Amino acid sequence: MNAKANPVTRRTVLQGLGATIALPWLEIMSGRTLAAAQEQRDPGRLACFYIPGCINHYNWFPEDTGFNYTISPSHQPLARHRERFSVLTSLSHIEGRISGHPHPYNFLTGHNINITPGVLTNTVSFDQVAAKYIGPTYLPSLALSWTSGVGAATLSRNALGVDIPATADYRYVFENLFPPADSSQLKQAKARIALNRSILDTAVGDVKDLQRRLGHTDQQRMEQYLTSIREVEQRLDDRDAILTKGRPKFDEASVRTEPKSKTSFREHIELMMDLIALAFQTDMTRVVTQSLGGEAGPTYDEYKDWSKATGAPTRGVHDYHHKGSGNRGADNSDTKLIGLRDRMYCECLARLMDRLAAIEASDGTLLDHTVLLLGGSQISSHSGSSFPLLLAGGNRLGFRHGQHLKWKGNDRSASDLYLTILQQLRCPVESFKESKGPITELLA
């Protein structure tokens, strides 16, 4: 590969993080995507970021609509990317609307998780639909969070509606982005794939014997299960092929994945976003979700700073979400504090967009081939009636940005947005959950 005049180095990949994580030099780090380096067409990528709790709606929503709208205070950090993002107001889950704290469960699924009393049910999240069609990659998808685990910690659900565990471990993320470098580790990885294939073959055989004795409804359920197994088998084949290709050469000893502060909100988000940029540039995965915080915590250091800046009492995050939400007035100190948090989210998104825009793709930049969704399920705490949403990137995928779109009440659902994104990512789908059709106003 020939280096560009302004290559992306270890320093520029994680600029501003200091000693947080020192990435080694990779062959891909020449300021270009893997596809551009190989003179191939760049695929689409998708990253979804969830905002927990409430927002400061006084500062979030622009006062006017259309292409000439005035950027709101919360979105000011994104002003330099005005033509690359849009503000979407009044989308929500309609049939799948829920309240309370479990919004992360259905933010990307649109399913009413309480539809069966006493039993939490769910369906596939739209990021996993994307992962099914826009691969193959070494990792079909990557689920990140403020804490490792399932439930409200993750945004991703598989085809059966089962939680896909998320991680908050930077080292784990980095180590799993690439095939093993050591030949013995590579052999072990291939052996694990062979073992998994054997287990799946046994499971399919047992299921087919059972399926013959089932009623019609149970046979349909079992066929859905078998379809999921076949998808796993395909991913094993894809992973085996990528293992054979190996990974870019880099200095393993130079990798450090310890943050300066384990209680810094901004640093955690930025470090994860840098790993996302690396994952997309090296094409190790094309789909990422990240929950940016919990509905009730943790209380990062920044909350103390924001409390001093706004005069808000020192509280836990859960109480800030409650006290700072609703129609308490723009001058309410807790509401102002939430506004500072919202602005930080937009600063982090703008920083990620800067990085993606600096990476050359086969056509345009990596940002042009990446769809970024930042939003949450609540304007005020517990309410799921209107989602605060920003859609960014993907200009070469057919998106038209630089506008504020607002709908009446239940005119359009978030499922319509998810369908639009899936179709622009060239996924062969005609519907998603309660969708009525794509949002054409977003398309060029």
In the chain, what percentage of residues exceed pLDDT 70?
A: 74
> What is the CA 295 to chain-centroid distance, rounded?
17
State the Cα–Cα distance between residues 382 and 252, nearest whole angstrom: 45
Q: For residue range 69-82, list pLDDT tens digits in order.
A: 999 999 999 999 99
**DSSP letter, residue 19:** T
- In which element (H, E) is residue 279 found? helix 265-282
Is 114's pLDDT higher than 70? yes
Q: Which pLDDT score, from 0 to 100, does residue 8 have?
A: 43
Q: What is the mean pLDDT of the chain?
A: 83
Mean pLDDT over 54-78 rounds to 96
Mean pLDDT over 82-100 rounds to 91
Q: For residue range 16-25, list pLDDT tens digits in order.
A: 333 333 333 3
Mean pLDDT over 339-348 rounds to 97
Is 321's pLDDT higher than 70? yes
The dihedral over CA atoms of 294, 178, 275, 159, expressed in degrees to the nearest 10, equals -40
State the Cα–Cα distance between residues 165 and 151, nearest whole angstrom: 8
Name which of 69, 51, 46, 53 is nearest 406 in CA terms: 69
Q: For residue range 213-232, list pLDDT tens digits in order.
A: 667 667 666 666 666 656 65
Is 315's pLDDT higher than 50? yes
> What is the CA 177 to chain-centroid distance, rounded?
16
Mean pLDDT over 12-17 rounds to 38
Is 27's pLDDT higher than 50? no
Q: For residue range 157-194, list pLDDT tens digits in order.
A: 999 999 999 999 988 888 787 666 555 665 665 565 56
Q: For residue range 262-302, list pLDDT tens digits in order.
A: 789 999 999 899 889 888 988 889 999 999 998 887 889 99
212 burial level (CB within 10 Å; 0-12, 13-18, 19+)? exposed
Mean pLDDT over 46-75 rounds to 96
SS3 letters for 127-188?
Answer: HHHHHHHCCCCCCCCEEECCCCECHHHCCCECCCCCECCEECCHHHHHHHHCCCCCHHHHHH
